[in-house]
Amino acid sequence: MKKFTALMLALMMSLSLVACGNKPDDSNNADDANTDNNTEQTGGTLVLGTSADYAPYEFMYADDSGTMQYAGIDISAGQYIADELGKELQVENMSFDYLLTSLAKGDFDIVMAAIEVTPKRLQSADFSDPYYTDLPAMILVKADAADQYNTLADFAGKSVGAQTATTKEAVVTDQMEGANLVSLSLVTDLVNELVYGKVDAIVVDGAVAEQYAEANPDLAIAPASSELGEAQPYCIAVAKGDPKGLLPGINEAIAKMTSENKMERSSPLPMS
Q: What order of strands is seen across the sheet that includes strand 159-163?
A: 180-184, 159-163, 201-204, 138-142, 219-221
Contact at 8 Å (CB) between 252 and 129?
no
What CATH number has the domain spanning 2-133+232-259? Answer: 3.40.190.10
Any bridge partners for residue 78, and if so which?
none
pLDDT, residue 134, reads 83
pLDDT, residue 160, reads 98
Domain locations in the chain? Answer: 2-133+232-259, 138-227
pLDDT, residue 261, reads 87
The alpha helices in 126-225, defined as continuous H runs, are 167-170, 187-195, 206-215
pTM here is 0.81
pLDDT, residue 23, reads 52
pLDDT, residue 263, reads 74
What span, in angstroms and rounded, lies between the C-alpha atoms of 77 and 46? Answer: 13
How confident is the prediction along the chain (272 residues), in pLDDT tens digits per residue? 434 333 444 344 333 333 334 556 544 433 333 334 333 444 599 999 999 999 999 999 999 999 999 999 999 999 999 999 999 999 999 999 999 999 999 999 999 999 999 999 999 999 999 999 989 999 999 999 999 999 999 999 999 999 999 999 999 999 999 999 999 999 999 999 999 999 999 999 999 999 999 999 999 999 999 999 899 999 999 999 999 999 999 999 999 999 998 775 533 322 22
pLDDT, residue 262, reads 79
What CATH number has the domain spanning 138-227? Answer: 3.40.190.10
Torsion, CA 30, CA 117, CA 72, CA 272, rounded to 10: 140
φ, ψ of residue 181 in degrees (nearest 5): -75, 130
pLDDT, residue 43, reads 53
